[in-house]
Structure 1
Amino acid sequence: MFTGIIESTGVVEHIEHSGANIHFTLSCPFTGELKIDQSVAHNGCCLTVVAIKDDRYTVTAIAETLEKTNLGSWETGTVVNLERCVQMNGRLDGHIVQGHVDKTGKVISIENKDGSYFITFQYDNHEGAFVTVPQGSVTVNGISLTVARSGADDFSVAIIPYTWEFTNLQFLKPGDLVNLEFDIIGKYIAKLISTNAHIKL
């Protein structure tokens, strides 16, 4: 489990294709603290550390992960948001994040608000399974964010300067794909409502 509070960014150093899978080797400030089999969220996608050498470590993304996330668009030099799993004796500063990306969304616009930023994302929601609510939580590229404006298939967030500076949001441009994980409680409620839509209260 994660919180959506980014510890650091990492850089993709090497990419190796193996059948339908891709092995990504990255460098980051806390590589020396990692262990084999440890879970790390990469742009909000939980991946397992499979190898460590010097200041670099390797994770593997399987075909299903590549289909649901933006990992397939990574290149050497791509900057990635990183978070290690939450320690249960610590504070939950963000919100409950599973590291299971629901789908990708597209950057529609980025507005500079004299130091802060207002970003709008759009996503495919034809089944109505994924919803946001104003002042609710959503995870974008692994970052726990508060929804500022909510639509049926889009939403906007307001980004403070610190988050802009210390995550990969600063590199986004309209048309880019981001990983989205919607609030777990909201997903359960949406599922419950759709499953029992025939029941009259």
Structure 2
Amino acid sequence: MFTGIIEQIGSVQKYLALDDSQTGGNGASLTIENAGPILKDCHLGDSIAINGTCLTVTEFNNDSFKVGISDETLRRTTLGSSKVGDKVNLERAISGNVRFGGHLVQGHVDTIAEIINRHPDGNSISFTFRLRDSEFINYIVPKGFIAVDGTSLTVTGVNYQEATFSIMMVAYTQSKVVLPLKKIGDYVNIEVDLTGKLISRQVELQLGSQISNENSQLYQLISRIIDKKLSRSTRND
């Protein structure tokens, strides 16, 4: 788990679409440099989020570390388009004694989004994004949490028809994360708030359970409504 509070901005040192080395696992791999401050307590197998994507450290030294990337992660995230020199957000998985400053972030990216607008608002920057997979807009609510490239942010507006949402980034945060470096047309990783997904799933399960149970209050209510409609239809005939 992560908090969405970025600890370090690193740089892509190397991206390999096929890494057949012992630490590459015959898949894609990514090596990140300028990561020294978060590697002082690093161990092989530790989890580090790169632009909001939880990945496992397979190799590291004092300044850089390497991770493998699965095909599923490549499909879900922007990491497959990584280029040498790209700046990335870094955050270590939380430990038990860390203050929780952001929100609960799993590091499991749901989809990507395109930056379709950005403009200054005082000393802040307003960003608007369009989701690639529009179904995830149902989990985004105004004033709710969202993780953009792993950064915990507050949603300022949502357009459910257009599958777009907006955030406002204050001046302090601008110097700590990579988003201000991106322009209109660039893509970012999106993880919607876990709470919304859990509530939605529980509602689906409860409704499904009650509809299939003839003794449930919901089933009986629907049956009465149908009987009433049928009775009216018969009288009108």
Q: Specify the TM-score bucket, using the shorter chain as the normaliser.
A: over 0.9
Closer, same or farther: CA 126–142 of 1 in aligned 2, 3 Å = closer
Q: Cα offset for 1:23?
A: 1.1
Contact 2:143–2:155 at 8 Å: present in 1 too? yes
Unaligned runs of 5+ in 1: none
Q: Higher helix fraction: Structure 1 or Structure 2? A: 2
Alpha-carbon distance, 1:53 to partner: 3.1
1:29 paired residue number: 36
Aligned counterpart for 1:69 among listed residues 73, 77, 80: 77
Q: How does 1:55-134 map to 2 (within 5 A)?
A: 55-127=63-135, 130-134=138-142
**Residues paired across the two proteins, number:** 201
Q: 1: CA distance between counterparts of 2:113 and 2:173?
A: 19
1:165 matched residue in structure 2: 175
For 2:138 and 2:27, the matched residues in 1 are separated by: 27
Measured after TM superposition, the shift of residue 90 of structure 1 is 2.1
CA displacement at 1:196 relative to structure 2? 5.0
Q: CA deviation at 1:96?
A: 0.5
Higher relative contact order, structure no. (Cα contacts within 8 Å, ≥ 6 residues apart): 1
Q: Deviation per CA, 1:29-86: give whole Å up to 9, x if none.
A: 3234321111000000000000013422111111110000000111000100000011
How far apart, in 1, do the equivalents of 2:46 and 2:171 lie?
A: 31
Alignment of 1:169-184 (within 5 A): 169-184=179-194
Matched, 1:141 2:159: no
Distance 1:129 1:188 in 2: 15
Distance (whole Å) between structure 2 residues aligned to residue 8 and residue 126 of structure 1: 31
Q: Structure 1 pair 130/68, CA: closer, same or farther in 2 (3 Å)?
A: farther
- Structure 2: how far apart are the matches of 1:55 and 1:33? 12
CA distance in 1, matches of 2:101, 2:201: 27
Structure 2 segments unaligned to the other structure (5+ residues)? 20-25, 212-217, 222-237
Measured at CA, do residues 10 and 94 of structure 1 come closer, stay the same or move farther in structure 2, by a change above 3 Å? same
Identify the structure with the greater strand proportion. Answer: 1
For residues 116 and 40 of structure 1, the distance between their equivalents in structure 2, rounded to whole angstroms, comes to 28
Cα distance, 1:162 vs structure 2 = 1.3
Partner of 2:10: 10
- Check conservation: 1:4, 1:95, Cα contact below 8 A: yes
Q: Root-mean-square deviation (CA), in Å? A: 1.9
SS in 2 for 1:190: helix
Q: Contact (CA 8 Å) 1:51, 1:57: kept in 2 or not?
A: yes
Whole-angstrom distance in 1 between the partners of 2:73 and 2:128: 24
1:35–1:49 Cα contact (<8 Å) kept? yes
1:129/1:120 CA distance change after superposition, 3 Å:
closer
Aligned residues of 2:136 and 2:192 also touching (Cα < 8 A): no
Aligned to 2:231: none
So what's the TM-score if we normalise by structure 2?
0.79
Distance 1:54 1:29, change over 3 A: closer
User: Normalising by structure 1, what TM-score?
Assistant: 0.92
Corresponding letter in the other structure for 2:11: V
Q: What residue identity is the alignment partner of 1:2?
A: F
